[in-house]
Structure 1
Amino acid sequence: MGFLMRRVFIALLSVAIVTLAMWIAPNVTFNASALMEAVIKSGKGLL
């Protein structure tokens, strides 16, 4: 049960990070690609 809850929490956290990145990216155009790379790398690390 704890494992399932952790998976759900990680999934929600990943969605929140991606949403935040999508919101920040247009405002920080010079750093958008680096930001998305960081999000993808952290996402792969969590899976």
Structure 2
Amino acid sequence: EVNGSRLVYLDNAATSQKPSAVLDVLRDYYEGYNSNVHRGIHYL
């Protein structure tokens, strides 16, 4: 229970291989644009 409500965690581990072009775009994003402005705001 979190803040008086039941906690539900959904996860799906199913995935597939990604083409190199997709990995290149994701790498660029994670290295240059990714941010987490609300890090630590949750109560978990």
Q: Relative contact order, CA 8 A, sep 6+: which one is greater?
A: 2
The interval holding the TM-score normalised by the smaller chain is under 0.3
Per the normalisation by structure 1, the TM-score is 0.26
Per the normalisation by structure 2, the TM-score is 0.26
Q: Which has the larger radius of gyration?
A: 2
Higher helix share: 1
